[in-house]
Amino acid sequence: MNASPTPQALPLSRLLNHTADAVRAVRSGASLNEALAACPVPARPGTQALSFQVMRGLGRAQALRGQLARRAPPAWVDALLLTALALLCEAEEAGYAEHTLVDQAVEAVKQRERASSSFVNAVLRRFLREREALLAAVARDPVAQWNHPRWWIERLQRDWPEHWQALLSANNQRPPMTLRVNAARATAEAYLERLQAAGLEGTAIGPQAVRLDLPCPVSRLPGFEAGDVSVQDLAAQWAAPLLLEAEGGRLPRGARVLDACAAPGGKTAHLLELAELDLLALDSDAARLARVEDTLARLQLRAELKAADARQPEAWWDGRPFDAILMDAPCSAAGIVRRHPDVRWLRRDADIAQLAGIQRDMLEALWPLLKPGGRLLYCTCSVFKAEGQPQIDAFLQRHSEARQLAAPGHALPLPHNADVAAHPGPAAAAHDGFFYALLEKRPV
Give catalytic residues, as residue numbers.
381
Please state the φ and ψ torsions of residue 84, each to the nearest 5 degrees: -65, -40
Residue closest to 172 by CA, chosen among 342, 326, 56: 56
Report yes or no: 341 and 319 within 8 Å, Cβ to Cβ. no
Burial 330-363 (b: 16+ CB within 10 A, else e): ebbbbbbbbebbbbbbbbeeeebeebbeebeebb
DSSP symbols for 388-442? SHHHHHHHHHH-TTEEEEEEEEEE-S-TT-GGGGGSSS-TT-----EEEEEEEE-
Q: Which amino acid is at 57?
A: G
For 163, residues 6+ apart whose C-beta sits below 8 A from its C-beta are: 156, 412, 414, 417
Q: Dihedral through CA 384, CA 390, CA 396, CA 399, nearest 10?
A: -90
d(CA 34, CA 22): 9
Residue closest to 386 by CA, chosen among 417, 411, 355, 364: 355
Element (H, E) at 278: strand 277-283
d(CA 261, CA 377): 12
Dmax (CA) of the chain: 75
Q: Which residues are 412's β-sheet partners?
A: none
Residue closest to 183 by CA, chosen among 227, 249, 143: 227
Report yes or no: 387 and 327 within 8 Å, Cβ to Cβ. no
CA 367: distance to chain centroid?
Answer: 27
